[in-house]
Amino acid sequence: MDLVGKTVVVVGGFGGIGFEVCKCLLQSKIKSLGIFDQRENPSKLAELGNNDVDITFCKMDITKKPEIEQAYNRFIRKAGPIDLVINSAGIMDDRKVRLTVEINLIGLMESTLTAISHMNKLDGGKGGFIVNISSVLGIEPGTATAIYSGSKFGVVGFTKSLANDFYYQQNGVKLMVICPGITITPLIENLVGIKDTFDYSKDITSFISRAKSQTAEECAKNIIKSIQQAENGSIFICDLGELRSVELAKLWEIQFK
């Protein structure tokens, strides 16, 4: 997708990765930017500065469907039809099982379905593009954070299921998945023995905390690159400052009578 002149929403746009994505979008000469997040962050908003891009913050708790719908409606009334949505809200806190699934999976699903309902060509929309942020732990097991990993596998299954040509030919909406590797943001702070799956996960978690990582800026730059080249259903790994397109292994296929 060519980003010039586009109307874009970043859900979780004040987060570590989301905010760097917003900065890259502004440099890509988009027309309007909607930042949907659970709390306003005036200093970050100010950091984005004065430029030609119209920026709107919409308060939205992604666990609350009415707030998702209100945020989309409010933004579209102001900025017009949305071309691109990047779903980047998420938490890593395995001691909060329901909240993890509500934010990382159900919230992302409802944000995606709401975006599709506005973009849907069958209902007079003009189509669009939705980028769902999973994780490398959405394609490989994450032993220290099993709940998080489960929610992120869900993001891959959900997004790949909707990114089928059968739907695209009708609704005109493309989807893709981004799987970042370990990225330095608030999400991964204070994990060991606190946000990992069990108290006794901490040996694995502390071992992982010595792993190589990337900055949010490196990750965001590659997310933008992947958007510029993505096909419907693409999966990209953004890890250690590099970008790689990957395919899921086909482990099962439907058999007909």
The residues assigned a catalytic role are 148
Give the footprint of ligand NAD on this chain (CB under 6 A). Answer: 12, 14-18, 37-38, 60-63, 88-91, 103, 133, 135, 180, 182-183, 185-188
State the Cα–Cα distance between residues 79 and 232, nearest whole angstrom: 25
Q: Mutual orientation of helices 216-229 and 16-27 as an angle, nearest 10°? A: 50
Q: By Cβ distance, which residue is nearest to ligand NAD? A: 15
Among 167, 180, 187, 178, smallest CA distance to 218 is for 180
Q: Which is nearer to ligand NAD, 120 or 205 (CB)?
A: 205
Report whether 56 contacts 71 (CB < 8 A): no
List alpha helices for the chain, DSSP H.
16-27, 42-47, 65-79, 97-101, 108-119, 146-162, 165-171, 202-208, 216-229
Residue 90: closest CA among 69, 75, 74, 106: 106
For 57-71, letters b (16+ CB in 10 Å) and e give: bbebbbbeeebbbeb
User: DSSP readout, 121-176?
Assistant: GGGT---EEEEEE--GGGTS--GGGHHHHHHHHHHHHHHHHHS-HHHHHHH-EEEE
Burial class of residue 161, CB neighbours in 10 A (0-12, 13-18, 19+): exposed
